Amino acid sequence: MTDQNPFTAWMGHMQGMAKAMNPALESFTPQGFEKLWPTMPRDLMEQFMGKGLNPDGLDAKTKMLLTLAGLTVLGAQAEAQVRLTVRQAAEQGASKQEIAETIGLMGLFGGLPAMNKAMTLANEVLEGDAE
């Protein structure tokens, strides 16, 4: 039996595997995972996530805002997913106001801590894009 934190041990093991596959991944962290996923171009996202597959259905922007709502209600615990969804929603044309309203409304259902966390994450993304 070891006294090492199980999460630390697991991360060390996973970093070793990542390094074996690609030495550039030696310093991989969970936060770095989201950087591996590029923001999909608007037309491509619409084709696969919006009306491309279902012309009578929801557009990709609406689906991204709904996804953000769900992630917020769940407590905004999946930080990388919240940031990725905000990036994708903005790429689909969602304004800062629409993103803020989506998160704000979910504060009624998920609570103020969840709303505050999601709002902080969204601001990180949206302010970072302005640079």
Q: Residue 122 pLDDT > 70, yes or no?
A: yes
Is the dihedral angle over the CA atoms 103, 69, 126, 24 positive or is it negative? positive
Across the range 83-112, mean pLDDT stands at 94
- pLDDT value of residue 121: 95
2 phi and psi angles, rounded to 5 deg:
-115, 155
User: Contacts from 22-28 at CB under 8 Å and sequence distance 24+?
Assistant: none
CB–CB of 102/61 below 8 Å? no
Q: Where are the alpha helices (DSSP H) in the chain?
A: 6-21, 30-33, 42-49, 60-73, 79-91, 96-110, 112-130
Q: Residue 131 pLDDT > 60, yes or no?
A: no
Across the range 51-75, mean pLDDT stands at 88
- pLDDT value of residue 38: 65
pTM of the model as a whole: 0.68
Q: Residue 74 pLDDT > 70, yes or no?
A: yes
Across the range 67-78, mean pLDDT stands at 92
- Give the residue, 41 or 90, on which the prediction is more confident: 90
Q: What whole-number distance in Å separates Cα of residue 69 and Cα of residue 85? A: 10
CB–CB of 71/82 below 8 Å? yes
Q: What whole-number distance in Å separates Cα of residue 25 and Cα of residue 75? A: 30
Give the rounded distance of the alpha carbon of 28 from its chain centre: 17
Residue 73: band (very low, low, confident or very high) from pLDDT cuts 50, 70, 90: very high
